[in-house]
A and B are shown apart, each in its own frame.
Chain A
Amino acid sequence: MKTTFTRAAAAATALSLATVPAFAQTIDEKVNEVFANSTGWFVSLIFSPFPGTTFPWIVGWLVVAATIFTLYFAFIQLRGFKHAISLVKGDYSDPNDAGEVSHFQALATALSGTVGLGNIAGVAVAVGIGGPGATFWMILAGLMGMASKFTECTLGVKYRNEYPDGTVSGGPMYYITKGFAERGIPGGKPLAVLFAIFCILGAFGGGNMFQANQAHAQITNVVGDYPGVITGLVFAAVVFAVIVGGLKSIAKVTEKVVPFMGVMYVATALVILLINFDQIGWAFGQIFEGAFTGLGVAGGMVGALIQGFKRAAFSNEAGVGSAAIAHSAVRTKEPITEGYVSLLEPFIDTVVICTMTALVIIITGQLMVDPATGNYLLNEAGSAIATVDGNSGVALTSAAFSSAFGGFKYILALAVILFAFSTMISWSYYGLKAWTFLFGESNGSQLFFKVLFCVFVVIGASASLGPVIDFSDAAIFAMAVVNIIGLYFLMPVVKRELEGYLGRLKSGEIKKFSTPAE
């Protein structure tokens, strides 16, 4: 499509039209080069392996943390699951608080920040590189991550700032500062500052550039190739209108359409799985076998594990600290209730939605298998599994869904754009909170951040996937480094909250409000 366009254009109007895309193309290349060069060191620092292995220390860091929280809170993700649902349903909400932020709303907003490209593109990357086995590790990471989320969101509510005008600010920078001071631990402030810096980078990376990049990839997948800088400028303009112009209508529409898209995505995946009902057993077989053998993927079992954990963490953000910012606005007297509610987030995001994507990719046979050995074939570079059409990332998911429903790629493109957009709006908020924590709440400093955020949208759409995904991962994981240190020091506070709450729940001091008239 592109070639016919440029040929026709060149023939018709000689230079003027043809040079525009060519010029933009070189901007893309330049952006990519500068970007890769300037962020490379940061990426290699975060992803450096344990000496003598290929296992990145950061992945170990997240796994160990999730395991510790799981054990410390005695499998809260299992024993608290039912209570979490009860809280979201509003069984324990005081009717007199109607009109305040409900548990459901806090969860929905936090979810619309996390459910997004991680679930569509990220999973495709994980399965494409790590094979079906990555899915197993992803699910495990999702289940364990529920405990990390529980911990951070409880703290987010407990140590939020409530201002006289009724607005609230919360998140790791606040609980690290206030919680450390309360417990007499030194170093809270510098740690909180470090978190805020990483949070801003994370907002620019995974919360912005990765989204813009994959949205562009998805659009070109449908309409044909054109320079990313164009997508970037359009996206930046819309984001600008919302976050600087205060154009609430766009955000409102997105917030309503995104949950609908999410439900439709899962429903479509379910239909595809039902059509291929006989293969579900085989797919799970591949997932389990691949989890422990790798089935020939680069890096074997460890490769599958790393990809699974990485993409899970990137998708559900458990331990990263971002969700604590969104959850802290809920109206509740008991911070721990928000912890309960938030543990549903990695479950919905990773255990349900990510698994759906992975199953669809596996079942629709996108990954090429060597018939002789039953192992997966690698691509020419040997870095990922060869796919039927050579797709990776979001294009792989798109191909998988389209193989069952031809028109689905258009719907998916729309879903990706909307998911990308809502994630950007959420992360612009997280980034802004970190920014104002560092530089104060003045309008000038807020505006500066917002404009910078829009600039990164353009960069993200222009650069190629490799450097963007690396930097996005690195920035988000850097947040987790700081946040989890904070969580280790503050987890006894959460434990006290939990025990006090459970005691009062048992004694009947906290009880369900009668349900309103049906």
Chain B
Amino acid sequence: MSEKFVVGFDGSEAAKGALAFAIDRAKALGGSVVIAHVLEWSPYSFLTPTELEERHKRRKEELDRAETALMKPVVAGLADSGVTIETAIKYGNIAEQLGEIAKEAGASQIVIGRNGHSGLGSRVFGSVAGSLAQIAPVATTIVP
């Protein structure tokens, strides 16, 4: 069985590092990579009436932007890597959705970069790495 890596990707330097890490491993093992981008979203947030009205339109715009500005260049840059690349864009809680994507894709590992928030910020708001440590359905690697 070939290894499948899900990489949490947001375009940041840390995420690029994580992606490079996963590509290396996938190459070595003959596996594939799912580049996953999660748009932070809670169905319990509060919106103004105008925001409600435009939500469907905005969602489409956000998805398009993620696809064209974020995913396309990365995927194009990896065309010569010899690794099979898939992409996934989802809405929701980042850690939860990365877990969901891993489950759906049948991946064996999640790889994320460390974004280096201060201890206090993570304590108050929680961190993706911290949440994944608790809920990830598969092995998770944090790339510093």
Kindly report which residue of chain B lies nearest to residue A105, judged by CB atoms.
Answer: B47
Residue of A nearest to B57 (CB): A166
Q: Closest Cβ of chain B: how far from A65's Cβ, in Å? A: 25
Tell me the bound Cα distance from A430 to B92 in angstroms: 30
A176-223 interface (Cβ within 8 A of B): none
Q: Report B-chain residues with C-beta under 8 Å of the C-beta of A329.
A: 49, 52-53, 55-56
* B103 to A, closest residue via Cβ: A517
CB of B50 closer than 8 Å to a CB of A: yes
Do A168 and B53 touch across chains, with their CB atoms under 8 A apart?
yes
Q: Which of A374-415 contact B (CB under 8 A)?
A: none
The size class of the interface chain B forms with chain A is 20 to 34
Which residue of the partner chain, among A101, A104, A517, contacts B137 with CB atoms under 8 Å?
A: A517
Contact A109 B48 (CB under 8 A): yes
A515 CB → nearest B CB, Å: 11
A145 to B45, CA, bound (A): 26
Could you mark each residue 89-101 of chain A with 1 if its beta carbon is under 8 Å from any beta carbon of chain B, else 0? 0100101001111
Known: A104-B44, A517-B100, A517-B135. A166 touches B49 (CB 8 A): no
Instruction: From B41, B46, B100, give the contact of A99 (CB < 8 A).
Output: B41
Q: Which A residues are in CB contact (< 8 Å) with B57? A: 165-167
With a cutoff of 8 Å between Cβ atoms, the chain A residues found around residue B10 in the complex are none
B59's nearest neighbour on chain A, judged by CB, is A99
Cβ-based interface call for A357 (8 A) = no
Whether B24 is near chain A, meaning CB under 8 Å from some CB there, is no
The smallest beta-carbon distance between B125 and chain A, in angstroms, is 15
Contacts of B41 in A (CB 8 A): 98-99
A113, CB-defined interface residue at 8 Å:
yes
Question: A198 CB to closest chain B CB, in angstroms?
Answer: 19
Counting chain A CB atoms within 10 Å of each CB, the highest count among B45, B47, B52, B135 belongs to B52
- Residue pair A517, B43 in contact (C-beta under 8 Å): no
Give chain A nearest CB distance to B65 CB in angstroms: 13
Check A106 for interface membership: any CB of B closer than 8 A. Answer: yes
Residues of B within 8 A of A331 (CB): 55-56
Tell me how far the C-beta of B88 lies from the nearest C-beta in chain A, rounded to whole angstroms.
12
Interface centre among A113, A255, A259, by most B CB within 10 Å?
Answer: A255
Q: What is the distance, in angstroms, from B132's C-beta to the closest C-beta of chain A?
A: 11
Q: A516 touching B100 by the CB < 8 A rule?
A: yes
Q: Which of B126-144 contact A (CB under 8 A)?
A: 135, 137
User: Nearest-CB distance from A324 to chain B (Å)?
Assistant: 12
Residues of B within 8 A of A248 (CB): 48
State in angstroms the CA–CA spacing of A122 and B4 once bound together: 61
Query: A169 at the A/B interface (Cβ < 8 Å)?
Result: yes
Task: Name the distance in Å between B62's Cβ and chain A's nearest Cβ.
Answer: 7
Is A517 a contact of B49 with CB atoms below 8 Å? Answer: no
Contact B53 A255 (CB under 8 A): no
The yes or no answer to A518 lying at the interface (CB within 8 A) is yes
Interface residues of B in 49-70 (CB under 8 A from A): 49-50, 52-57, 59-60, 62-63
- Expressed in whole angstroms, the Cα–Cα distance for A102 and B43 within the complex equals 6
Which residue, B41, B47, B60, B100, has most C-beta atoms of chain A within 10 A? B47
Q: B99 an interface residue at 8 Å Cβ cutoff?
A: yes
Contact call A101/B47, Cβ cutoff below 8 A:
yes
A396 → chain B, closest Cβ, in Å? 29
The answer to whether residues A255 and B46 also contact, given A329-B53, A517-B99 and a CB cut-off of 8 A, is yes
Q: Please measure, in the bound complex, the distance between the C-alpha atom of A326 and the C-alpha atom of B53, giving whole angstroms.
A: 8
The answer to whether the Cβ of B39 comes within 8 Å of any Cβ in the partner chain is yes
What is the bound-complex CA distance between A248 and B46, given in angstroms?
13
Asked if A100 and B49 sit within 8 Å, CB to CB, the answer is no
Given contacts A99-B62, A99-B91, 12 further A-B contacts (CB under 8 A): A98-B90, A99-B39, A101-B55, A105-B43, A105-B45, A106-B52, A166-B54, A166-B60, A255-B47, A325-B49, A331-B55, A331-B56
The 4 closest A-B pairs by CB, nearest first: A99-B91, A166-B57, A102-B43, A98-B91
Listed by A's residue number, 15 A-B pairs whose Cβ atoms lie within 8 Å are A99-B41, A99-B91, A100-B56, A101-B55, A104-B43, A105-B46, A109-B52, A251-B48, A329-B52, A330-B52, A331-B55, A425-B48, A516-B96, A517-B100, A517-B137
